[in-house]
């Protein structure tokens, strides 16, 4: 019987030190680990010194499986939110609860972490491209491009890439698809849940919009209270409709429009 090995498998078999190991999306593990550690070291002071990061609920993360876990969060900046998650995930890996006070975790950060991001966002400049190598699962948004409302076919290849990332580890997704508060939950997230049946961890963040610019790279205000709250993991009933899942997600990540704002909008 003829045995056919891909170049990736050949490299992995010869690579006893793991130098050429790649994840399911083709990222080299050693490069990803180096980038997460380097960016983590560069950004640590933003969360622990210049601002204060309050973390709640990491006890729910301690016993999670290594794969097929989907974190759903509201979104406030492009990159500051994501790096906060990477700090927290790596800290939890080392056994620390609800804090990132001891950055020793950057010596061996959690590598099997991914986040969903718009393709156009990750292709604008050198810094976004470097962030992309740290675990971005890029998708083409069907409703918005270059700051304008559009209508185009759903990116099914993006859904497939998210599925591969879930097979590999933990995935952070922002189901509103924008940093605007109280934006509608995109149905693609519900379809993703119905297809892959992941464990879902709801997350609510706050303060990032006040502390950083929209990209999350420049300070707007220092000494700001940042917060990341993890809620109890759940698995959705497979019999729920897409609309029912969407509504539950909206409530879980606390993105229902406040009564006061609804009165103002009327």
- Quick: pLDDT tens for 8-19: 544 444 444 456
* Residue 89 structure tokens: 């995930």
Phi, psi of 136 (to 5 degrees): -75, 135
Q: How confident is the model at residue 3 (pLDDT cuts 50, 70, 90)?
A: very low
C-alpha to C-alpha distance for 74 and 45, rounded to whole angstroms: 23
Whether pTM > 0.85 for this model: the answer is: yes
* Neighbour count for residue 248 (Cβ, 10 Å): 19
Helix H or strand E segment including 54 = strand 52-56
The CATH T-level fold of domain 26-145+160-255 is: Glycerol-3-phosphate (1)-acyltransferase (3.40.1130)
Cβ-count burial 207-239 (b if 16+ within 10 Å, e if not): bbbebbeebbbeeeeeebebebbbbebeebeee
For residue 251, the model assigns a pLDDT of 96
Domain ranges of the chain: 26-145+160-255
């Amino acid at each position: 019987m003829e045995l056919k090995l891909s170049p990736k498998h050949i490299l992995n078999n010869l690579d006893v030190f793991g130098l050429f190991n790649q994840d399911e999306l083709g990222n080299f593990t050693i490069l990803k680990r180096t980038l997460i550690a380097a960016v983590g070291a560069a950004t640590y002071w933003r969360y622990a010194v210049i601002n204060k990061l309050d973390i709640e609920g990491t006890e729910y993360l301690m016993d999670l499986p290594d794969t097929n876990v989907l974190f759903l969060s509201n979104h406030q900046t492009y990159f500051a939110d994501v790096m906060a998650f990477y700090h927290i995930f790596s800290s939890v890996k080392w056994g620390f609860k609800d804090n990132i006070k001891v950055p020793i975790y950057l010596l061996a950060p959690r590598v099997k972490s991914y986040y969903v991001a718009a393709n156009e966002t990750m292709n604008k400049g050198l810094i976004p491209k470097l962030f992309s190598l740290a675990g971005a699962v890029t998708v083409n948004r069907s409703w918005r491009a270059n700051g304008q409302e559009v209508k185009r076919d759903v990116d099914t290849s993006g859904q497939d890439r998210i599925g591969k990332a879930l097979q590999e580890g933990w995935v952070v997704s922002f189901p509103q698809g924008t940093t605007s508060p109280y934006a509608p939950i995109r149905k693609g997230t519900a379809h993703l849940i119905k297809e892959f049946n992941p464990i879902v961890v709801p997350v609510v963040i706050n303060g990032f919009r006040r502390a950083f610019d929209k990209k999350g790279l420049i300070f707007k205000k220092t000494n700001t209270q940042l917060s990341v709250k993890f809620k109890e993991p759940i698995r959705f009933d497979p019999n729920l409709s897409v609309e029912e899942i969407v509504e539950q997600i909206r409530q879980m990540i606390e993105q229902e429009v406040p009564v006061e704002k609804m009165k103002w909008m009327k």
